[in-house]
Amino acid sequence: MNRETLFNEFLDELGSQSLARFGLNIFNNSYGALVESGKLTTNIFKEAKQHGKNPNGFGQLFETIHVGKQNIQNVKNKTGVYTFTTDELAAINRVYKGEKFDTLNEEKTKTITANYSEKEMKKIINNPNLKGLMKTNHPIADTVSIDKNGKIIELSQLKAISGSIFSKEQDRYFDAIEKVKLTSVTVDEETYNKAKLDIKKLEEKIKIAPEEKKEILKERLQEKQKKFNYLKKNGNNHTNPQQAVNNVIKIQIGESIENIYMTGGSDAIIVALSTFASGVIYEMRSEFIDKNHEDIKIRIERILKAVLKNSSEAFTRGASFGIVDSLVVIVSQLLSKIGGHLKNLWGNLRKSVKSIWNAICDFISGKIKSKKELIKIILKSLFSSIIVAFGVILEEKIFSFLSPILTPLVASPLSIAISIFVCSFGVIAFSHTIDLTLDAFFGICAAAEMAKKRKEEIQKIYNDIMPKMLENQEKLKNFTNNYLYKLKINEETNFNGICKSMEKDDYVLANQYIIAFAQEFEIKGLFTAQKEFDNFMLDNKTLKI
pLDDT for residue 50 is more than 70? yes
- Give residue 13's identity as a one-letter amino acid code: E
Residues in the chain: 545
pLDDT for residue 114 is more than 70? yes
pLDDT at 198: 92
What is the percent of the chain with per-residue pLDDT over 70, rounded to a whole number?
Answer: 73
pLDDT for residue 447 is more than 80? no
Long-range CB pairs of 352-360, under 8 A, 24+ apart, other chains included: 352/381, 352/382, 352/384, 352/385, 352/386, 354/19, 354/20, 354/24, 354/321, 354/381, 355/16, 355/380, 355/381, 355/384, 355/385, 356/381, 356/382, 357/317, 357/320, 357/321, 357/324, 358/317
* Cβ contact 114:333 at 8 Å: yes
* Cβ contact 235:69 at 8 Å: yes
pLDDT at 62: 85
pLDDT for residue 545 is more than 60? no
Stretch 423-440: mean pLDDT, rounded? 69
pLDDT at 425: 75
| 217 against 275, higher pLDDT | 217
Mode of pairing for the β-strands spanning 184-187 and 231-233: parallel
Long-range CB pairs of 172-176, under 8 A, 24+ apart, other chains included: 172/139, 172/140, 173/140, 174/226, 174/227, 174/230, 176/140
What is the percent of the chain with per-residue pLDDT over 90, rounded to a whole number?
Answer: 23
Structural element, H or E, at residue 399: helix 371-402
Per-residue pLDDT tens over the stretch 191-206: 898 999 999 999 998 8
pLDDT at 415: 82
pLDDT at 439: 66
* Cβ contact 57:46 at 8 Å: no
Stretch 226-243: mean pLDDT, rounded? 79
pLDDT for residue 260 is more than 60? yes
pLDDT at 38: 94
C-alpha dihedral (494, 499, 503, 506), degrees to nearest 10: 30
Of 35-39, 187-191, 202-206, the range with the highest mean pLDDT is 35-39
Of 109-123, 164-178, 382-396, the range with the highest mean pLDDT is 109-123
Stretch 15-31: mean pLDDT, rounded? 69
Q: How confident is the model at residue 453 (pLDDT cuts 50, 70, 90)?
A: confident
Backbone phi, psi, residue 234, to 5°: -115, -165
pLDDT at 543: 54
CA distance 73 to 217: 41
DSSP class of residue 21 equals H
Per-residue pLDDT tens over the stretch 290-332: 888 888 899 889 989 988 988 888 888 888 888 989 999 999 9
Stretch 244-266: mean pLDDT, rounded? 91
| Widest CA span in the chain | 183
pLDDT at 17: 66
| Residue burial 189-198, b: 16+ Cβ < 10 Å; e: rest | eebbebbeee
pLDDT for residue 252 is more than 90? yes
| 345 against 351, higher pLDDT | 345
